[in-house]
Structure 1
């Protein structure tokens, strides 16, 4: 069986794209490894109509709605290889099965490279976040710690005072110049230069000099990479952004390989559930147009 579109990645962007295609009665295969980027978070915020809902529940309900369309096929597994060309792509999954498709859509999402700070990993998505629009309101204007990872953290530290009193922990990652220090002071941001030893409690920062500073929540700017190398293996160009690496696409969400498209966090910045859904919906419509015209 040859599918009209094979969607690699069945999270928010991939499902949003698939929905547009299914409603055009196109044969769609979704291959999903089941590792949503926000699987560590208990609530999703900023997505109209779903504010405060568990992200897993949002994904479950979306998938249930897709299964109402008879032209959907769904495989739970890892897509490991993509080859071929427009109208004749082949995707091979981890079990060795080969699947034919006229078009490809990479909606693989991204992986976050977290700062190497003891105690950060187990708090990620619970009391340590990357997006204040998604999680800042719930901190109730309490004390916020910003864990710097490089010069881009300056922008995060400038923005975070909208949600609370901010301390920027440089942790040896970069040195603000005088103009930046003046700007941060004007925003009420405290700069802490002592190295971080570890994180404790809910969101407490233990410094090398022994001090323990408590916070309502912490933010940090991670560096992202597409969570799968499959697009790069096909020959798609991967480009550098301020947030990390992503799959390069044009305005129609087509990659540098004709007939292969990409959407969601793996192909746009910045990142959020609502932006991923919008990007996926646009990609799905453009995929359909590429099949028609």
Structure 2
């Protein structure tokens, strides 16, 4: 039932996200090659997980979504795409395949790919600010997105990933790394939905806990897939993490599955607490947890 709920929600909302991105991206770009490079990676596909989480949070909290909300929601996909372009660069992971297509630097060159990422990053903040949401909501979103994407969040996680590539981390240190690298932007996605729905501080905290669990589960699952999946299944190179700190490398594949189960169990308990405390139907957010296949 939950899987069908997630599929129905994706079927309804992914086209809305894609249509908004496609219709609005190039309005704010003044250089044709740069526009093509930004468009190439942004519209190359993908699950649109982060904006979907924002929309799911807003639906869970019975908040209607208008064009101003949608503009702020889609901004996170701009920022996420920037991170993927930069992550694939020769100076970083040097990957040549992303979502089953040549990476941006393979098609447009490393310099243009870097600028495409820069452009998407800047445009993300423009979209959060350039709408008719209240000044209070916009300022909260901009501050939170700055922290999530910057040197105390995602960028810090990526830096640690590079710095500790040939060093073995403890499990606690690995979790901290991933809270920045992957978890910070996922936390923002859920928290942004709570802010745009005017949730109280206690509810925001509970939803943030759910989001932290989701981000951690996402990274554990991604590490597992790098071991068990094929490039064709994932649309990107696999078995690339042999020298990196990953859950299978640190605690083994079997224990990685157990760790994933533990995180998902805690996430379900948090959603149940929200349901009990606020009388809110959290099934849609629970449905997002079916993304992680552990059988």
Q: Specify which structure has the higher proportion of helix.
A: 2
For Structure 1 versus Structure 2, the TM-score category normalised by the shorter chain is: under 0.3
The structure number with the bigger radius of gyration is: 1
